[in-house]
Amino acid sequence: MISDPLLLSIVLMAIMFVFLLSSIWIGVALMMTGVAGMMLFEHNLPPAISIFQKTGDLLAGSLYDSLNSWSLAALPMFILMGEILYHSSISTRLLNGLMPWLSNIPGRLLHVNVAACSLFAAVSGSSAATTATVGKITLSELKTRGYSKKLALGSLAGSGTLGFLIPPSLIMIIYGVLSDVSIGKLFIAGVFPGLLLATSYSLYIIVVSLIDKSTVPSTKETFTLKEKILSIKDLIPIFSLIGLVLGSIYGGFATPTEAAALGVVGSIILAIYFKSFGWDIFKDSLLNAVKTTVMISFIIAGAGFLSQVIGFLGIARAISEYIGGLGLSPYVLILVIGLMYIVLGMILDGISIVVMTLPIVLPIIVMAGFDPLWFGIFLVFMVELSQITPPVGFSLFVIQSISGEKIGYILKATFPFFIIMILIVAVVTVFPEIATYLPERMIGK
């Protein structure tokens, strides 16, 4: 039996990693870690209550409480919307509409990855869906036209992670539910940081293309003003869907859950209009949405139980008091937490990182004086980094399956965009108003 909460936290961390490395389902691994914590800790329960009964009560209560949330209903809706867009021709039209407007910028069509991912992220909410959808369209097209393969892969890997930052975002929904932070405010808070990151990627592409002329083809494709104007018709559907989903939230007409349902209806209408919707597409989209939602919900349920155990055993309070006693400055604390998330990103997926660490980290952050709303954006950045951090960077595997390139080559191509993201995290940390300005002005403090 262990009576020291700090020692128990170290033991539980080791047990959890053993479970995760043994290929057990993440949700089961989290629940088993919680059970192990209850068994190992020295309890002072009344004689009438056994440790098995208390563990069962905690497990049953946490499973219900974790998933009994109306806000969480937005999750399957946004996933379904992304699946419908992924299987329809809307994504192809997005690329066709962007090409004429990017032809005169240094780097030319290499900016398509950044622009297309930014726009698709605003109607998808999923990093994997954004990377896969845009990558399937752009990589082969850029290769055929003679653009730098390395820069095309790197920009896709970096820009694909915008699916988590630019609203609507699945990670923001999960964070909002677990931290009791307004999901609407989180969505708005992600706008400026997302645009800043996308702009930084484009600036890097511009600089590289100006230095190395071989990154773009020698022959320049030109478009007339008439062709540019006509291409707008391919962009209108995406902008309309973005306006429907985000406008209804920002305008106060709908909750994120209701806006997600509107997004599903809007994506179906657009797919029908473009004659790219049928029973097979709807069935595949529905099945994939159910599978993804169940997977995420199972992880959330496991994390909810582990969170209950951590609170019951006093681990969160003990860790908070210990770190508080170290006398670290707020920025050093954030640096330590950021490094921890980068390490975790090497072995865990983004959703797991959020649900596993939040019960411990959030009390520490609040105690240090940071805004939970700002920390939600910081955490999304950390999840984005995990998507392109080896060896479990999910976006890396998505790109590998699309391009057929070796993972080592993809890592080299992605590294500059990884560094850019870290720099933007530092900027948003030093200037938190980048994230908090819009929510304070549009919704109020």
Angstrom distances, CA of residue 229 to CA of 3, 105, 221, 395: 70, 17, 16, 34
User: In terms of Cα–Cα distance, which of 305, 227, 359 is closest to 54?
Assistant: 305
What's at 61, amino acid-wise? G
pLDDT tens by residue, 84-136: 877 777 766 777 787 788 777 888 878 888 887 887 777 666 676 677 767 77
Note the pTM of the prediction, 2 decimals: 0.72
Q: How confident is the model at residue 395 (pLDDT cuts 50, 70, 90)?
A: confident
**CA–CA separation, 83 and 392 (whole Å):** 23
Residue 228 pLDDT more than 60? Answer: yes
What's at 225, amino acid-wise? L
pLDDT tens by residue, 262-313: 888 988 998 888 888 888 888 988 998 888 778 777 877 777 787 777 777 7
Cβ atoms of residues 160 and 117 within 8 Å: yes
Name the 3-class secondary structure at 371: coil
* Dihedral over alpha carbons 288, 291, 293, 295 (to 10 degrees): -140
Residue 238 pLDDT more than 90? Answer: no
**CA–CA separation, 44 and 371 (whole Å):** 36
Residue 61 pLDDT more than 50? Answer: yes
**CA–CA separation, 178 and 199 (whole Å):** 30
Residue 445 pLDDT: 44
Q: How far is CA 382 from the centre of its chain?
A: 9
**CA–CA separation, 263 and 243 (whole Å):** 10
Average pLDDT over residues 400-413: 83
Which ranges of 166-224 does DSSP label H, i.e. alpha helix? 170-179, 183-189, 191-211
* Dihedral over alpha carbons 322, 323, 327, 332 (to 10 degrees): 170
Cβ atoms of residues 316 and 358 within 8 Å: no
What's at 205, amino acid-wise? I
Cβ atoms of residues 172 and 124 within 8 Å: no
Residue 79 pLDDT: 77
Residue 379 pLDDT: 92
Tokens of 305: 């139980």
Name the 3-class secondary structure at 45: coil
Angstrom distances, CA of residue 79 to CA of 110, 155, 244, 288, 314: 27, 24, 16, 8, 36
What's at 427, amino acid-wise? V
Neighbours of 281 (CB within 10 A): 17
